[in-house]
Amino acid sequence: MGFSVARMFHTLFISRPVSSCLLCLLSLAPPLTFLFEILFRYHATTALLHYQLPQMPDVVVRSFMTWLRSYIKLFQAPCQRCGKFLQDGLPPTWRDFRTLEAFHDTCRQ
């Protein structure tokens, strides 16, 4: 199971050219990078809990990887509620589990 997850991760992320949005993220001020990391870890944990389906682990991995891949357009997708690209210096970090639309953490309620 671990090999197939690593292989899928490699296919979705590593084999693709590095997007300029990742370089933008690395150039953010350290406090914003730290805050983004906390938000992203929280959202990823929430997504793993949402996609939990013990009977079909392959569907869980595929669904989570699809959700994770939606972050490729991190700095290119505006918030679906307010229409802004940045709010308090952060991009929309929340992704809807079904539609994968981008929302700021405060706009998703």
Residue 14 lies in a domain: no
Using pLDDT thresholds of 50, 70 and 90, give the confidence band for residue 105. Answer: confident
| Residue 87: strand, helix, or coil | strand
Q: For residues 40-67, give the mean pLDDT.
A: 90
Residue 82 lies in a domain: yes
If you compute the radius of gyration of the chain from its CA atoms, what whole number of angstroms results? 14
Count of C-beta atoms within a 10 Å radius of residue 99:
9
Residue 102 lies in a domain: yes
Question: Tens digits of per-residue pLDDT, 1-19?
Answer: 344 444 444 444 444 444 4
pTM, rounded to two decimals: 0.66
DSSP type of residue 103: E
Residue 16 lies in a domain: no
Residue 11 lies in a domain: no
DSSP type of residue 10: I
Report the pLDDT value the prediction gives residue 33, as an integer from 0 to 100: 73
Residue 33 lies in a domain: yes
DSSP type of residue 12: I
Residue 90 lies in a domain: yes
CA angle, 85 then 90 then 95, to 5°? 70
Residue 97 lies in a domain: yes
Number of domains in the chain: 1
- Domain range for 53 is 29-109
